A and B are shown apart, each in its own frame.
Chain A
């Protein structure tokens, strides 16, 4: 028995070691979020969904903001629309990732009607229960490498085959780059149509939420203890804006109100569609770089 246990232990250790090396080298290719839970606590967070995750490059921000007093480097703590929704659970995750040792941080909060929507059926009380089993909500440990908790809780998120095509890369500063760009206009239009259909579905099924607005306010209040908060509405093609406007006509007014109430800046790029995207609303790596520069410049003005 002891021979069996010793050998099993040795084999398991070897396996874990190899797996840890594999994750360390290839982790950025095989999971959309894993790397976000392998870095230490961070200052100056970018909060948002996949548009912010791939659309705001911390390095570009840092190079522009280095002359300011903001605590850098910034860190992209955005996820995708499935997980990024303002509420108690996302705020708790932010608290677990945030390094509170500085009061001079910069927080960029992406605002979209979908991150502030009620996704529950009308009969159901609004809560975070439908997504608390996904990262970052189900993660207590946000800072270890390798992150065993993430492996156990979110193993099914991994796409281990990702190392072959390297379609998506998640960098250590939390931003991601999509290398799988449309090959021609036809493919682009096809992808855009898929996204538009998703937006239409949300428009029909979801509702603007007072509850989520309150939690955006709570998130702002919490983060303002540690620095400056900026609310940003990202750019995209105008067809998407039309759907969002039909879903929540007063959205910009509501954001302005939050900005005024909290003495913060609301930067609205939604009417500017001159940055390149790969599906109409996610900035591609070229558009993201330009947008990050523009955002930095605008932040510097204030």
Chain B
């Protein structure tokens, strides 16, 4: 079920009313309702793949219990390895099998021994990259004794499949989300209203910004040979806003929906395109994934504690793995590696934590230097997104080489003025709210009439300027 569908518009109020009016006196029943609703939400796409979530939940639930019962380190390690093997095994099979098969075949062909890659017709289960990481975090935290294992099977299954963030994050840690299933949730008016506001903003980002940008990004990327350099720059910028609007829009709707049910999810985006360097960008982009890799990969590898070589190695590992997490294609690997190249100088010069505050805090406008830094960071990000969006590495290189040709000084062949104006409006609203939790904080406006008028205005903008309906990009990850 898509957040921007009529089905979800019917599903959400029904679950909301049942949750607060029918099951509110019994925590177990409330969790059970969330579990059933989550399975219905997921099964709406393809009920067969529910079995994967259920199996994965079973494995990690019982491994958690066994981990608490044994103190033999070898057994504990074996249990953790089982959890990792099962979860990453599913992920590896469904997401990477064909990629590895083809890469091996290509490698053999290059060495002069051509072989046929046996491809399987595998459908990638929606959200598998997200929920496997979520359930893995539980096993690892229990293994590290950071978290007591749960004996509440309903709560655990509901935690793994919690519908607002099941298919595209934020990737929640068991330490944050699971305990919220143990405690009675009380309805909080301000929290619920805030949730609705965040849903509205997420919808705007997805339906207006991402879907409109997608039309032009697709047109330009799919026919990049036909366009001049300046048009290709525009295409890359459209994709930059498409992916941000799409993914952060999904996160906003997920976080807002969770707030309606009394849950607090982690912030996943913090206005990343206002970052002054790449390190800041990565503290603000897909925060739940970055911190996941930091805690479960980067730090166990030694983090930045070792010598220069170790810092370089670990940085590359984390960025390349992060790229590979996004998809089974070399373009994602290059995208990750490119970001590592961007990040490394800052790390090695100890400047990776220069900008930990919000840009131009308490001011209306940034300084010229800040603006320059934002511009450079944005340009580097746009360039990296070309690899992310391109069909293959050759396509990415030909795209970039055309950008850096003389034709960049010609007038773009595609100038969608309405979409550009919408992006301008979007950036403006995000800028004035950049110190808030999300982009649409209207609480500064005291008049309820004015606030409601603004909500209605945004809803009508969503209605009037919605782009051609597109799936969420991160569903494919």
- A residues contacting B by CB (< 8 A) are 1, 3-4, 7-8, 11, 14-15, 18-19, 22, 152, 155-156, 160-161, 163
CB distance from A135 to the nearest CB of B (A): 15
Q: Which of B141-149, B175-183, B461-469 faces chain A?
A: B461-469
- B residues contacting A by CB (< 8 A) are 6, 20, 187, 189, 192-193, 196, 452, 455-456, 459-460, 463-466, 469
Cα separation A19 to B456 with both chains bound (whole Å): 10
21 contacts between A and B (CB under 8 A): A1-B20, A1-B187, A1-B189, A4-B189, A4-B192, A4-B193, A8-B196, A11-B452, A11-B455, A14-B452, A15-B459, A18-B456, A19-B463, A155-B6, A156-B469, A160-B463, A160-B464, A160-B465, A160-B466, A161-B465, A163-B464
Contacting residues, chain A, for B464 (C-beta < 8 A): 160-161, 163
Asked whether, in the complex, the Cβ of A4 is within 8 Å of the Cβ of B469, the reply is: no
Given pairs A1-B187, A1-B189, 12 additional interface contacts (CB within 8 A): A4-B187, A7-B193, A8-B196, A11-B455, A14-B452, A14-B456, A15-B459, A18-B460, A155-B6, A160-B465, A161-B464, A161-B465
Cα separation A266 to B254 with both chains bound (whole Å): 60
Contacting residues, chain B, for A14 (C-beta < 8 A): 452, 456
Cα separation A1 to B189 with both chains bound (whole Å): 7
- Closest-by-CB residue of A relative to B463 is A160
Contacting residues, chain B, for A8 (C-beta < 8 A): 196
Cα separation A196 to B357 with both chains bound (whole Å): 61
Cα separation A156 to B463 with both chains bound (whole Å): 11
Cα separation A15 to B193 with both chains bound (whole Å): 16
Contacting residues, chain A, for B456 (C-beta < 8 A): 14-15, 18
CB distance from B332 to the nearest CB of A (A): 31
Contacting residues, chain A, for B187 (C-beta < 8 A): 1, 4
Asked whether, in the complex, the Cβ of B189 is within 8 Å of the Cβ of A3, the reply is: yes
CB distance from B459 to the nearest CB of A (A): 7
- Closest-by-CB residue of A relative to B190 is A4
CB distance from B308 to the nearest CB of A (A): 55
Contacting residues, chain B, for A160 (C-beta < 8 A): 463-466
Cα separation A69 to B460 with both chains bound (whole Å): 47
Contacting residues, chain A, for B196 (C-beta < 8 A): 8
- Closest-by-CB residue of A relative to B9 is A152
CB distance from A16 to the nearest CB of B (A): 11
CB distance from B216 to the nearest CB of A (A): 15
Contacting residues, chain B, for A3 (C-beta < 8 A): 189
Closest 10 pairs (CB-CB, A-B): A160-B464, A1-B187, A160-B463, A4-B189, A152-B6, A4-B192, A155-B6, A161-B464, A3-B189, A156-B469
CB distance from B8 to the nearest CB of A (A): 12
Cα separation A161 to B189 with both chains bound (whole Å): 35
Contacting residues, chain B, for A7 (C-beta < 8 A): 193
CB distance from A292 to the nearest CB of B (A): 34
Contacting residues, chain A, for B460 (C-beta < 8 A): 18, 22
CB distance from B73 to the nearest CB of A (A): 50
Contacting residues, chain A, for B193 (C-beta < 8 A): 4, 7
Cα separation A279 to B189 with both chains bound (whole Å): 57
- Closest-by-CB residue of B relative to A19 is B463
Cα separation A8 to B192 with both chains bound (whole Å): 11
Cα separation A14 to B460 with both chains bound (whole Å): 13
Cα separation A163 to B460 with both chains bound (whole Å): 13
Cα separation A98 to B14 with both chains bound (whole Å): 36
- Closest-by-CB residue of B relative to A153 is B6
Contacting residues, chain A, for B463 (C-beta < 8 A): 19, 160
Residue picked from B455, B459, B464, B465, most chain A C-beta under 10 Å: B464
Cα separation A229 to B409 with both chains bound (whole Å): 65
Cα separation A15 to B463 with both chains bound (whole Å): 12
- Closest-by-CB residue of A relative to B13 is A8
CB distance from A17 to the nearest CB of B (A): 11
- Closest-by-CB residue of A relative to B192 is A4
Contacting residues, chain A, for B189 (C-beta < 8 A): 1, 3-4
CB distance from A166 to the nearest CB of B (A): 14
- Closest-by-CB residue of B relative to A164 is B464
- Closest-by-CB residue of B relative to A18 is B456
- Closest-by-CB residue of A relative to B455 is A11
Contacting residues, chain B, for A156 (C-beta < 8 A): 469
CB distance from A240 to the nearest CB of B (A): 29
Cα separation A169 to B20 with both chains bound (whole Å): 46
- Closest-by-CB residue of A relative to B260 is A4
Contacting residues, chain A, for B459 (C-beta < 8 A): 15
CB distance from B467 to the nearest CB of A (A): 10
Contacting residues, chain A, for B452 (C-beta < 8 A): 11, 14
- Closest-by-CB residue of B relative to A163 is B464
- Closest-by-CB residue of A relative to B193 is A4
Contacting residues, chain B, for A11 (C-beta < 8 A): 452, 455
CB distance from B395 to the nearest CB of A (A): 29
Contacting residues, chain A, for B466 (C-beta < 8 A): 160
Contacting residues, chain A, for B20 (C-beta < 8 A): 1
Cα separation A14 to B465 with both chains bound (whole Å): 21
CB distance from B193 to the nearest CB of A (A): 7
Cα separation A12 to B455 with both chains bound (whole Å): 11
- Closest-by-CB residue of A relative to B187 is A1
- Closest-by-CB residue of B relative to A12 is B13
Contacting residues, chain A, for B455 (C-beta < 8 A): 11
Cα separation A155 to B466 with both chains bound (whole Å): 12
CB distance from B5 to the nearest CB of A (A): 9
CB distance from B3 to the nearest CB of A (A): 14
CB distance from B432 to the nearest CB of A (A): 24
Contacting residues, chain B, for A22 (C-beta < 8 A): 460
- Closest-by-CB residue of B relative to A162 is B464
CB distance from B208 to the nearest CB of A (A): 11
Cα separation A152 to B10 with both chains bound (whole Å): 10
- Closest-by-CB residue of A relative to B452 is A11
- Closest-by-CB residue of A relative to B186 is A1
CB distance from A22 to the nearest CB of B (A): 8
Contacting residues, chain B, for A18 (C-beta < 8 A): 456, 460
Cα separation A1 to B455 with both chains bound (whole Å): 21
Cα separation A8 to B456 with both chains bound (whole Å): 13
Cα separation A3 to B193 with both chains bound (whole Å): 11
Contacting residues, chain B, for A15 (C-beta < 8 A): 456, 459
Contacting residues, chain B, for A155 (C-beta < 8 A): 6
Cα separation A4 to B193 with both chains bound (whole Å): 8
Cα separation A7 to B281 with both chains bound (whole Å): 38
CB distance from B190 to the nearest CB of A (A): 10
Cα separation A174 to B70 with both chains bound (whole Å): 75
CB distance from B455 to the nearest CB of A (A): 7
CB distance from B205 to the nearest CB of A (A): 18
Contacting residues, chain B, for A161 (C-beta < 8 A): 464-465
CB distance from B342 to the nearest CB of A (A): 38
Cα separation A87 to B192 with both chains bound (whole Å): 50
Cα separation A3 to B191 with both chains bound (whole Å): 13
Cα separation A152 to B189 with both chains bound (whole Å): 29
CB distance from A233 to the nearest CB of B (A): 35
Cα separation A161 to B193 with both chains bound (whole Å): 29
Cα separation A155 to B10 with both chains bound (whole Å): 14
